[in-house]
């Protein structure tokens, strides 16, 4: 069972929910796909037993074979190549690793070398296997890292996994939810929250993923996000009240379900609801 | 035109709430929303007219002409991004396509071509002498940095005589933030007093340093964690960064936002605090003696 | 010697463009003949790597000196590899800067800024 947790914007509670659901379960896998700003590990503080660098392929020229024809320079749509004083210069950070230059070089003068763009870490925190993806600052795309994180988890069918997605609805979010069996959308009870919820709602529909909403930071009075869900017929999986204590625990990077029974109850109940939804979906839409 | 940018690093800290208040307080004639992934500013600025709209073209994307396609499979074999799908017909997954042109070049019959693809939409509101520039990036698009640049360009060309421009920035530390920073006179960093908030604040300060932009810090929702708030102030002192104030968590703020208003349109504690932060920030912005190093 | 300057318009009185990679035009002044030509900057519309492409353009036009207000690290790498010298412009027109350069009033451009990753502004 693979559950993706997403929201239109940062700060709504993706990490709060995914970390606590993972911690509440008997045994689980947590995957931090927010590779630009991974925060899950700050809560789990996992003992890491494994680390792997992730790299992409960048071209390098064999000067003896290069004839200076500039086929590669002219082909590159990203302007990652320049030919100066009989030497080819490759700009690593601009290169998208498409392989075109290598393919089309008439002299076969280009080869590939590996460039590290980030890493993945695996660790244990209680009964949770914590997988963290980290993109090095300055690198363009975290997609290869997310791909690796999810690839490694692909064969896992028995242990429930929680995918903490990047905020927004850009290509890295799409990559993160590709494998998910179910998507939990987190929404804040504000006008901004609804606008952002709508974005991820459109996204999960586009990808035909079953979904439900968790309303976070609920207070008394109007909840525009709840109204939105009712209008669109979106299932509300649970409501987490705005709670100073919860907020403080979270801002101190403490896992609520491990600190206080009352939160354990809240998240266990949410977990059961989610599991029921997933099983229902699997039965109705195999 | 003096440009003030509001950033936070972490999402959800209150950038837009503060930007909206600043715009009202300064009666700025020019403002922009650079959070093109999830623009929110327009929800609390009352626009009275429809904006001018135009498409934003990002990376060209590949398209397969089914009539010419001979299903030789060469495109799929050479696509590094797994952006070509085969389901009776060969189809390009526009969300994954990076516009590299390899498929176009390997196709033996010229059935694949790169075509301009709309990656978003730019909007320009012109209302009673005020210019509001914003945009929405289409789902799955990767060129948010370029669109941010367009939003700022659009604002500047429409509001050449404006004295002050307020720019609501995007969260994170990546390309859209770098694009927002380019050319602004000052950046106000809104910090959240949480461990992740502090970590992200430090990354954004580093990013702003590269651009030698004048920077100041304020704390939003400071009372949710006074200890962490103390830490932020300490970090500012240690790094010689002007600290321009703290704003309390305020349920009245949420109510105001939900009514489509800014926190200074209603009488509330956060509104009073934001006014203080505004006064200090504007003073720094226009103070000639604190001009950042000229590039 | 050939001196290149990024300019906002195709005339000697044009202001120097604040961006190198995305300037609309370059002026190339030949000090021997004292003739200036204006070329379109094909890099301006690029998604990314504009500085690199613009620098390659100048190398191909055999520029010896570049006068510019600023330069990104990728473009700088190309310029340096080509042994082109970079000087920092002063406020004023392209003509003002050519004169200032020939009078030895301009200083070498030292500060190179980090790449904009494809999102630099004009």
Quick check: A83 contacting C, CB < 8 Å?
A: yes
- Average pLDDT over chain B reads 89
Inspect the interface and report whether the beta carbons of B149 and C119 lie closer than 8 Å.
yes
Quick check: C119 contacting A, CB < 8 Å?
A: no
How many other C-beta atoms are found inside a 10 Å radius of the C-beta of residue B128? Answer: 7
H or E stretch covering C59: helix C50-60
Inspect the interface and report whether the beta carbons of A103 and B106 lie closer than 8 Å.
yes
- Average pLDDT over chain A reads 91
Quick check: C43 contacting A, CB < 8 Å?
A: yes
pLDDT over 90 percentage in chain A: 67
Structure confidence at residue A162 (pLDDT) = 96
Which chain B residue lies closest to C89 (C-alpha atoms)? B295
H or E stretch covering C24: none
Mean pLDDT computed over C99-107: 93
Task: Decide if C118 is inside a domain.
Answer: no
Alpha-carbon gap: B182 to the closest alpha carbon of chain C (Å): 7
- Which DSSP string do the residues of A131-188 spell out, in sequence order? EEEEEPTT-S--HHHHHHHHHHHHT--SSEEEEEPPSSSSHHHHHHHTT-SEEEEEE-
Structure confidence at residue C69 (pLDDT) = 85
Residue A85 has what DSSP assignment? T
Inspect the interface and report whether the beta carbons of B80 and A9 lie closer than 8 Å.
no
Contacting residues of A for C59, CB less than 8 Å apart: 82, 84
Task: Decide if C19 is inside a domain.
Answer: yes
Task: Characterise A79 by phi-psi region: left (phi > 0), alpha (psi -120 to 50), beta (else).
Answer: left
Render pLDDT for A148-186 as a digit per residue (tens, 0 to 9): 999 988 888 889 999 999 988 888 899 999 989 999 999
Res C118 pLDDT > 50 = no
Render pLDDT for C44-65 as a digit per residue (tens, 0 to 9): 877 778 899 999 999 999 999 9
Render pLDDT for B150-187 as a digit per residue (tens, 0 to 9): 899 899 889 888 999 999 998 876 677 877 887 788 99
Res C116 pLDDT > 60 = no
Domain boundaries, chain A: 2-54+117-284, 63-108
Report how far apart, in Å, the C-alpha atoms of B37 and of each of A135, B33, B46, B55, B132 are.
20, 10, 21, 15, 17
Res B294 pLDDT > 80 = no
Sheet holding C25-30, edge to edge: C35-40, C25-30, C2-7, C65-68, C85-88
Contact C52, C75 (CB under 8 A): yes
Mean pLDDT computed over A80-106: 91
Res B293 pLDDT > 70 = no
pLDDT over 90 percentage in chain C: 57
Task: Decide if C12 is inside a domain.
Answer: yes
The CA distance from C4 to B49, in Å, is 46
Render pLDDT for B197-228 as a digit per residue (tens, 0 to 9): 888 888 788 777 766 678 999 999 999 899 99
pLDDT over 70 percentage in chain A: 99
Picking from C16, C112, C119 by the largest number of B CB atoms within 10 A of its own CB, the best residue to mutate is: C119
Look up the CATH number of the domain holding residue C57.
3.30.420.130
Q: Given pLDDT bands bounded at 50, 70 and 90, which one contains residue B100?
A: very high
**Maximum Cα–Cα distance for chain A, whole Å?**
74
Q: How far is CA C3 from the centre of its chain?
A: 9
Highest mean pLDDT among A215-224, B13-22, C104-113: B13-22
Which chain A residue lies closest to B79 (C-alpha atoms)? A98
Q: Given pLDDT bands bounded at 50, 70 and 90, which one contains residue C115?
A: low
Structure confidence at residue A158 (pLDDT) = 87
Which candidate from A167, A206, A247 shows the least CB-CB separation from B224? Answer: A247
Going along chain B from its start, the domains and CATH numbers come out as 2-55+122-290 (3.40.50.300), 59-115 (3.30.70.20)
Query: Which phi and psi (to 5°) does residue B186 adopt?
Result: -160, 150
A2-54+117-284 matches A63-108 in fold: no
Structure confidence at residue B149 (pLDDT) = 85
Range of the domain at C34: 2-102
Q: Which CATH architecture has domain A2-54+117-284?
A: 3-Layer(aba) Sandwich (3.40)
Res A282 pLDDT > 70 = yes
Which chain A residue lies closest to B61 (C-alpha atoms)? A77
Inspect the interface and report whether the beta carbons of C50 and A73 lie closer than 8 Å.
no
Task: Decide if C43 is inside a domain.
Answer: yes
Res C120 pLDDT > 60 = no
Picking from B149, B169, B176, B184 by the largest number of C CB atoms within 10 A of its own CB, the best residue to mutate is: B149
Inspect the interface and report whether the beta carbons of A82 and C47 lie closer than 8 Å.
no
Res B295 pLDDT > 70 = no
**Total structural domains in chain C?**
1
Mean pLDDT computed over A58-72: 93
Q: Which residues contact C81 (CB under 8 A, 6 or more apart)?
A: A82, A84, A85, A87, A89
Of the CA atoms within 13 Å of residue B83, those in its CB half-sphere come to 26
Res B290 pLDDT > 70 = no
Contact A154, A54 (CB under 8 A): no
Q: What is A63-108's CATH number, 3.40.50.150, 3.40.50.2300, 3.40.50.300, 3.30.70.20?
A: 3.30.70.20
Looking at this predicted complex, what is its ipTM? 0.82
Structure confidence at residue B141 (pLDDT) = 74
Picking from A82, A96, A140, A141 by the largest number of C CB atoms within 10 A of its own CB, the best residue to mutate is: A82
The CA distance from A229 to B22, in Å, is 32
Mean pLDDT computed over A101-120: 94
Res A29 pLDDT > 60 = yes
Structure confidence at residue B214 (pLDDT) = 87
- B203 vs A196, more confident: A196
Inspect the interface and report whether the beta carbons of A15 and B196 lie closer than 8 Å.
yes
Report how far apart, in Å, the C-alpha atoms of A142 and of each of A6, A43, A139, A147 are.
17, 22, 8, 9
Mean pLDDT computed over A248-253: 89
Contacting residues of C for A70, CB less than 8 Å apart: none
The CA distance from A37 to A40, in Å, is 9
Res A244 pLDDT > 90 = no
Q: Given pLDDT bands bounded at 50, 70 and 90, which one contains residue B143?
A: low
The CA distance from B112 to B84, in Å, is 11
Contacting residues of A for B37, CB less than 8 Å apart: 167-170
Res A193 pLDDT > 80 = yes
Report how far apart, in Å, the C-alpha atoms of B111 and of each of A101, B62, B63, B114, B118 are.
21, 10, 8, 10, 21
Kindly report the pTM of this predicted structure.
0.79
Task: Decide if C111 is inside a domain.
Answer: no
| Structure tokens belonging to residue B163 | 């004295």
Alpha-carbon gap: C100 to the closest alpha carbon of chain B (Å): 19
């Amino acid at each position: 069972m693979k559950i993706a947790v997403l929201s239109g914007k940062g700060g709504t509670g993706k990490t709060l929910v995914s970390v606590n659901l993972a911690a509440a379960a008997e045994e689980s896998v947590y995957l931090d796909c927010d590779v630009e700003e991974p925060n899950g590990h700050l809560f789990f503080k996992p003992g890491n037993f494994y680390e792997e660098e992730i790299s992409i392929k960048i071209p390098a020229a064999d000067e003896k074979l290069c004839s200076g024809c500039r086929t590669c320079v002219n082909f590159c749509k990203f302007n990652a190549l320049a030919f100066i004083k009989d030497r080819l210069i490759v700009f690593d950070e601009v290169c998208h690793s498409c392989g075109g230059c290598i393919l089309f070089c008439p002299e076969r003068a280009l080869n590939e070398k590996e460039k590290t763009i980030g890493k993945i870490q695996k660790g244990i925190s209680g009964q949770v296997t914590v997988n963290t993806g980290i993109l090095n600052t300055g690198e363009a795309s975290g997609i290869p890292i997310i791909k690796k994180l999810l690839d490694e988890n692909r064969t896992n069918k028995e242990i429930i996994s929680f995918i903490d997605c990047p905020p927004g609805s850009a290509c890295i979010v799409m990559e993160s939810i590709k494998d998910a069996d179910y998507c939990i959308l987190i929404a804040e009870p504000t006008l901004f929250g609804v606008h952002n919820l709508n974005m991820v709602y459109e996204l999960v529909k586009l990808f035909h993923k079953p979904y439900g909403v968790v309303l976070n930071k609920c207070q008394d009075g109007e909840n525009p996000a709840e109204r939105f869900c009712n209008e669109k017929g979106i299932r509300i999986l649970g409501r987490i009240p705005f709670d100073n204590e919860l907020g403080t625990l979270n801002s101190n990077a403490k896992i609520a379900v491990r600190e206080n029974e009352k939160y354990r109850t809240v998240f266990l109940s949410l977990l059961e609801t989610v599991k029921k939804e997933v099983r229902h979906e699997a039965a109705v839409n195999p | 035109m003096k440009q003030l940018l509001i950033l936070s690093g972490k999402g959800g800290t209150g950038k837009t709430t503060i930007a909206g208040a600043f715009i009202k307080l300064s009666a700025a004639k020019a403002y922009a929303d650079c959070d093109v992934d999830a623009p929110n500013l327009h929800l609390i600025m009352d626009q009275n007219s429809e904006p001018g709209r135009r498409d934003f073209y990002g990376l060209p994307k590949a398209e397969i002409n089914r009539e010419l396609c001979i299903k030789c499979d060469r495109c799929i074999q050479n696509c590094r991004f797994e952006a070509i799908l085969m389901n009776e017909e060969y189809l390009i997954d526009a969300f994954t396509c990076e516009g590299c042109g390899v498929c176009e070049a390997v196709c033996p019959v010229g059935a694949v071509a790169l075509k301009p693809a709309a990656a978003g939409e730019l909007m320009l509101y012109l209302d009673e002498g005020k210019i509001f520039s914003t945009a929405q990036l289409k789902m799955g698009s990767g060129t948010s940095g370029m669109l941010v640049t367009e939003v700022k360009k659009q604002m500047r060309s429409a509001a050449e005589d404006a004295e002050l421009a307020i720019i609501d920035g995007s969260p994170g530390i990546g390309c859209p933030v770098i694009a927002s920073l380019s050319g602004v006179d000052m950046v106000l960093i809104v910090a959240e007093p949480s461990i992740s908030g502090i970590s992200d604040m430090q990354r954004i300060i580093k990013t702003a340093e590269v651009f030698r932009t004048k920077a100041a810090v304020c704390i939003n929702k400071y009372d949710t964690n006074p200890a962490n708030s103390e830490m932020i102030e300490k970090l500012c002192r240690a790094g010689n960064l002007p600290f321009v104030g703290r704003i309390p968590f305020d349920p009245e703020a949420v109510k105001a936002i939900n009514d489509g208003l800014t926190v200074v349109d209603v009488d509330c504690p956060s509104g009073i605090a934001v006014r203080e932060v505004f006064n200090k920030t504007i003073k720094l912005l226009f103070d000639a003696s604190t001009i950042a190093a000229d590039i | 010697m050939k001196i290149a300057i990024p300019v906002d318009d195709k005339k000697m009185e044009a202001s120097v463009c604040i961006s190198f990679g995305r300037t609309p035009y370059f002026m190339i002044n030949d000090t021997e003949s004292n003739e200036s030509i204006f070329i379109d900057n094909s890099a301006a519309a690029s998604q990314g790597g504009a500085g690199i492409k613009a620098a390659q353009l100048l190398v191909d036009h055999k520029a010896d000196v570049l006068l510019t207000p600023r330069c990104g690290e990728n473009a700088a790498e190309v310029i340096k590899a080509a042994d082109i010298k970079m000087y920092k412009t002063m406020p004023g027109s392209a003509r003002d800067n050519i004169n200032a350069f020939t009078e030895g009033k301009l200083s070498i451009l030292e500060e190179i800024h980090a790449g904009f990753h494809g999102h630099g502004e004009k």
